[in-house]
Structure formats: C-alpha cells, structure tokens
Amino acid sequence: MTHIDAGAELDPAHPVPVPSVPPTGLTASQVAERTARGQVNDVPVRSSRSLAEIVRANVFTRFNAIIGVLWLIMLFVAPIQDSLFGFVILANTGIGIVQEWRAKKTLDSLAVIGEVRPTVRRDGTATTVGTSEIVLDDLLEIGPGDKVVVDGVCVETDGLEIDESLLTGEADPVVKHPGDPVMSGSFVVAGGGAFQATRVGREAYAAQLAEEASRFTLVHSELRTGISTILKYVTWMMVPTAIGLVISQLVVKQHGFKDSVARTVGGIVPMVPEGLVLLTSVAFAIGVIRLGRKQCLVQELPAIEGLARVDTVCLDKTGTLTEGGMDVTGLRLLDSHPEPYVRQVLGALGESDPRPNASLKAIINAYPDTEEWRCTESLPFSSARKYSGATFNEGGGETSTWLLGAPDVLLADDDPALAETGRLNEEGMRVLLLARAAGDLDDPHVARGARPAALVVLEQRLRSDAADTLRYFADQNVRAKVISGDNAVSVGAVAAKLGLKGTAVDARRLPAGREEMARKLDEATVFGRVTPQQKRDMVGALQSRGHTVAMTGDGVNDVLALKDADIGVSMGSGSEATRAVAQIVLLNNSFATLPSVVAEGRRVIGNITRVATLFLVKTVYSVLLALLVVCWQVEYPFLPRHLTLLSTLTIGVPAFFLALAPNKERARPHFVRRVMRYAVPGGLVAGVATFVTYLLARHHYTGPGSLDAETSAATLTLFLISMWVLAIIARPYTWWRVALVAAMGAAFLLVLVVPELQRFFALKLVGMQMPWTAVAVAVAGSAVLELAWRWVGRRFPA
C-alpha cells in the first residue's frame, strides 16, 4: 500500500489541502478539540418529516382552509348538527397526524439500524463511528462497497478504484493515488486505502445526499400527482359553482337568511374531496408501519407504490438467491504444482486482501495462510475484471505472481480446463481458476499467457425462502430475470434448482444495441458474466419496452443498476453504496420479505384507486346539483347535516375499510383516467336522479314545512344511489364487504325510524307516495348507473 507522508507537497493539478495528520490518525485530544470548535459532520440525517412538518402538512391545506371558514359560519347561523362536517374534518386530520407520526417513529428506528458506520483511524486504532461523529482531518479507511461520506484527499491507496457516477455521470471507475481528491457520495469498487476528511458537515456534498437518502416523502408518485391533478380541476369547478350557489340562495330566501346560508354551505362542502388526500396519506403511513414490523426500511414512500407497478424483477444471484457465505468443496490440480504448494498459494492470496469477498473468505477458511510468504503487490478483485491477483516473495528470493478469478475470463476459449469447469457449473457449483501470471500486476493485460494451476470448486448456499418467493412472483405475473456476474451455466443451474425455468445466456455475447438487447432479455431468463455497466444497460433496455423494473442486489457491482431501476432493493448486509441508492432496504436480509412489499404496494394503490371513485362521485354530483339549483332558482335541497350523514355512511366509513383491505391486483397506469371514467357517469346519474326526485317532491308537497319533506325524499334517492355506487366499488364480494354495505344501509334505516335521530338530522319521510317514488327513481338511476359503468368498462378498458 502506498501512502503520502504528512506535510508532503501535492501536484498542482489537485487543489486539495495538504494532509497534516500522521498515519496513526488523530488523537483523542485532537478529536475533542475539533468537536469543541464545531468541526464535526453534524448534518442531521432525517428519515422522516418532523412532528411540526407533519402537523403543518395535515392541517394547513387548501381544502381545510375552505371547510374551516364554512364551519365557523355554520357555528353562528345553524344548529350544531349542521356543523358536524367540521368535527369530522378535525377527527380525520387527527387520524392523519397520528398515523404519520407512527410511521415517522417506525422509519426513524429502522434508519438507525441501517445507518452507515464508517471506519476511522484514531490513536493508531481503527474503529467504527457514526457519520455524525466524524471530525475535520479524521483518517477514514475505505474498501470495496464503502460509501465516501465526507469530502477528502487520499493518504493511502492500494489499488483503490472509486466510482463517481452518482456525482459526475461518468460510469468508469477512477483510479486514485495519494493526493487525489475523493468526493462524498462516491463509492469504492475495488481496492482500499485511507483518506483525510477535508470538508465535513454542511460543506460536504454528502450533507445533501444523507438528508435525502432516507426522507419520508410523498412526491414523484403517479398516485399523488394524479390526486393533485384531480384536486386542481375540482377547485376550478368549485369556485364559480359556489359563487353562483351563494348568489342564488341569497336571492331565493323564502325560508329565511340563516336557512339559506346553511343550505348554501351544504352545497359547497360536499364538493371538496378532502378525505381522499387524507386517506392516501393514512394508507401510505400504515403501509410503512406494516413493512417496518417486517424489518423493511422504505427510504422513499412512493417506493411502495412503485413496487406495486413492477412487472419485471431483476435479481442478483449472490446475496439474493444464495446466501452470502460459500464453502470450498474441491480442488482440481491442472499442472505439475503439488497440492500442498497450491494450498500455500491460495492461503497467501486470501491473506493479501484486507477486505475479502465471499469467495475469498471461503478460501481463507479452507486454506490458512503461511507466514513464509510476503505479499509485495496486490490487485484487488473487480467485478469488471472478474479476477484479483498478488505478487509474493515466497522466501529464498523467489518471486511469483498469481491470479484468481473466472476461468472463462482467464483461459483461452479452447483450453481443455473449460470442459471440466462447464461440467461443474452445470451442477450449480461456482468455479475459480488459480493461474500463475507471466507479467507484472500493473500490466493491463496481465491475464494473457497465464498458466492455469488449479480449479477451486465452491458450493453456494441457496436461500431457503428463494423458491417460494420466485413462485410468488410467477403467480403474480411478475417476470424474474437473474442477472449475475458469475458463469451463466452455473447461475442457470442455481436458478433451475429454485424452480426458475428459462434459457441461460452469457452476457458477453449480448448485442450492444438497446433494441436488440431488450429483445434478448424478453426471450431469456438467466444471464451470466454481466458487468456492472451491462446491468445498468439491461435495466434501461427493459424500461425502453415499457417495463417497470425492480432491481435487487447487495454488492457494489449492483449500484449503477439499482440507481437506474424504477425501484432499487438492497439487502441490509449489503454494501453502504447499495443501501444509499436503494429505495427499499431489507434489513433482515430476507429475500422472502419482498412479496410483502409488493403486496403492500398493491393493497395501497389498488384500494386508493377503488375508493377515489367514491369521493369523486360525490364531488361530481355536488357540483351538478349546485348548477341545477342555480339554473332552476330553487332552494338547495340539503342541509350540511344531510350530506355529512350521507358522506359518512356511503363514503367515509366504507372507504376507510376498503382502503386497508387485501388487494393483489397489479397497479396499472393512468390513475386519473381510470378513476374519472367511472366517477363522472356515477356522479351525473346520482345528481340527475336526486334532482328529479327533488322537483317531484316540490310539486307533491305544499304548505308549511314542505321543504323538510322535499329534502327527505331527495336524501332517500341520493342515499340509495350512493349505496349502489358503494356496492359496485365493493366488488368482488366477500362476507365482510357484504356486511359492510349492509351495516351502512342499516345505519341509515335506523336514522329514519328512530324519532330522536329523525329530529337531529331533520329527516322524516311524509306519506307513502313520495317516498316510494323516491325509491323508484333511485332504482331506475341505479339500473342506468350499472349499464353505464359496464359500457364504460368495455368502451374504455383500463
């Protein structure tokens, strides 16, 4: 390992402060001194909104302001029962705050578990600390998969290669030497070293990255964007309609000023689909809490929605289908080197890498190091190269250079050893080749002319839950693609053991063009010898064909693909870099948790799409009724208490249960179109039928108190049609859905038969003819609604 001496001059091309700390790192007193001066990496890492932000987001909304003003007016001009809608809004907002606060606490606790803890050298000892404990001038040790958390300058390097693509867009790793700068937000792909922190806290780019990585967010979601679009159009419709309603009701005030105001407010309040926004937030928050109980950290809330829309899952074999650990099961000699000597070489290679990967750890466990060999130069493993290497002084003055890596990369295509390798791969074994190099490690073509010495056979441990998870994806019509850096035949054998059928393809023979690559990806299932850049290209090729792609992985070679995928899923034991860019982190390292995330996303999206129709049917019929009232110059048929009752029984309570029900249907695009294609005809039919009943009742009833009878008849028609809308939305029926609809009908019947409730809600059916007429109009309207929805379903399929 090369290093830069303290106080050394730097190349002018690197405008970075000269390191001034000895290789042993800062002392405890120096750390304390810098901490006292505030030179610490004190950027707050927030996994969620603060309590104040949660309250502000739930309370101070456009529609809460509108309803709040109307509520205050009603408190002064009408009985308390006409102000019930205000108390309902208070309760709903309170529920939203409580649920999001619970989600915040869940996210906070999970973020602590998944927190990055870099290694810092102090007083000559390497120790792990929290990112907020790093101080200026600290020496940080880094290795493969480590994320650079603060800006700095290299002090020691050992084949150090850093990927800065997340910052610069440049995909090729950058080789670092002592004196070179390192930027926070980049990550190590090969080698190791140490760097001195030159910018910490808010001065470093990591300050922004760390804060954004685990934030509770409700943006960049088709669902949220769609609801915002709907609310925008609702506002445009609501304002002129409400103005017209106010003017008409104050002009037509046969029943007094206060009653006219009450009916005006009763016409405006139901236009606001305020519960839809609340229900979406609550459904997302409950989803976070449910997943949190399964040790699943959702770093970006829309990831729940995104995974529900996924139709293709790209799986990395190592760490996803197989466990991280491996076992050496055999050693096949290929030349005249005796087995004890080959074991010595393997032991020395294991000792030469300070941060061994899973394969090398298995070799270290099987072949202990010999103290006689001394490593003079090393080449760390790189997923792009597919091999590592080291040069040794074997004692007695003899020097040798060895390579360890993929046989089909290090050997010529016609080498007889590849036949044995192929046979082992077909059994699902992983095979590494030990070869003696003829040249130096710093030669970019060091693998050329290497003499094979032995094949190291490793057995991979399959995850016990992988087969069930793959079966779940198949049942849900989600295609699984295994993308691995290992040999294609070996990966295919592993996939076959787990029940995943399909062709295995060597990625080195894939076409470079996106269209051709996408066609091959559609045809095959397993891909081996995939480079990190190819993984990224594969994700892009699938997306170019309209697929929504999720990528799972835990290694540094997966970062680029995780970043570009629609949804990135990382294992909790994965590298810091993968956890930083993934939207979902499985902290328990269980691939079996993924179906729960998919199911939760489908439940949230499917149910919100379903209940959104309920809310928007109410908005449509409320606007239509207001327009009809203005045109006919009559009193608005309802008081606020009537619509509060109807909204509670046909929308509020049912929507809450329907939004939390199981739903396995894959989320589909075009949320606004899919909701409005049913809400518009539903609202039009309900509004017209209700107004017809109201006009008939006005003609039927005469004399004092007739308006209450007219209102009761119109309320009965509107309730029955709204119940039919609910019955359609609740399909397919289960026992609890039928019970839910029946319970809402029974509650309304209770209001009609109990005298105290009749008086409280000002509902009393007078006579026999008009109530049955109201029922007949409702039945006719429901029949028209059923036919209209079926026609819309055929004419405009989702």
One domain for residues 304 and 207: no
pLDDT band for position 5 (50/70/90)? very low
Total domains in the chain come to 4
One domain for residues 50 and 119: yes
Average pLDDT score over residue span 341-346: 89
The residue from 217, 240, 266 where one domain ends is 217
Cα 787 from Cα 790, distance rounded (Å): 5
CATH number for 123: 2.70.150.10
Beta-ladder partners of 330: 457
Contacts 24+ apart (CB under 8 A), 392-400: 392/345, 392/348, 392/352, 400/345, 400/436
pLDDT of 396 > 90? The answer is no
pLDDT of 15 > 50? The answer is no
Residue 594 backbone dihedrals phi, psi, to 5 degrees: -60, -45
Average pLDDT score over residue span 437-452: 84
- pLDDT score recorded for residue 542: 93
CATH number for 309: 3.40.50.1000
One domain for residues 96 and 3: yes
Characterize the bridge pairing of strands 526-528 and 479-483.
Answer: parallel
pLDDT of 78 > 80? The answer is no
More confident residue, 246 or 769: 769
CATH number for 352: 3.40.1110.10
Average pLDDT score over residue span 450-475: 86
One domain for residues 781 and 665: yes
One domain for residues 438 and 555: no
Q: Name the catalytic one among 146, 151, 259, 316.
A: 316
Cα 586 from Cα 577, distance rounded (Å): 14
One domain for residues 655 and 764: yes
- List, in order, residues 6 or more apart from 289 with CB less than 8 Å away: 99, 102, 103, 106
Residue 267 backbone dihedrals phi, psi, to 5 degrees: -85, -30
Cα 528 from Cα 683, distance rounded (Å): 55
How many beta carbons lie within 10 A of that of residue 523, not counting itself? 10
Per-residue model confidence as pLDDT tens digits over 193-230 = 999 999 888 777 545 544 444 444 443 577 777 877 88
pLDDT band for position 7 (50/70/90)? very low
Domain that holds residue 135: 1-217
- Two structure tokens written together for 381: 């493993």
Contact in structure between 154 and 177 (CB atoms under 8 Å): yes
One domain for residues 492 and 382: no
One domain for residues 196 and 302: no
The residue from 178, 202, 217 where one domain ends is 217
- pLDDT score recorded for residue 301: 64
Per-residue model confidence as pLDDT tens digits over 659-685 = 878 777 766 777 888 888 889 999 999
Mean pLDDT, the chain, rounded, equals: 82
One domain for residues 585 and 717: no
pLDDT band for position 740 (50/70/90)? very high
Residue 445, classified by CB atoms within 10 Å of its CB into exposed (0-12), middle (13-18) or buried (19+), is exposed
Q: Which of 106-115, 416-425, 549-558, 789-798 has the highest mean pLDDT?
A: 416-425
For the full predicted model, state whether its pTM sits above 0.75.
no
One domain for residues 364 and 390: yes
- pLDDT score recorded for residue 216: 41
- Identify whether 316 is a catalytic site residue: yes
The residue from 535, 555, 589 where one domain ends is 589
Contact in structure between 395 and 372 (CB atoms under 8 Å): yes
Per-residue model confidence as pLDDT tens digits over 135-172 = 999 999 998 878 888 889 999 888 888 877 666 655 56
DSSP state letters, 193-213: EEEEEEE-GGGSTHHHHHHHH
One domain for residues 164 and 233: no
- Which of these, 594, 169, 168, 171, lies nearest to 181 by C-alpha position? 168
CATH number for 620: 1.20.1110.10
Cα 528 from Cα 450, distance rounded (Å): 23
One domain for residues 226 and 374: no
DSSP state letters, 2-52: EE--TT----TTS--PPP-S-TT-B-HHHHHHHHHTT-B------SS--HH
pLDDT of 29 > 70? The answer is yes
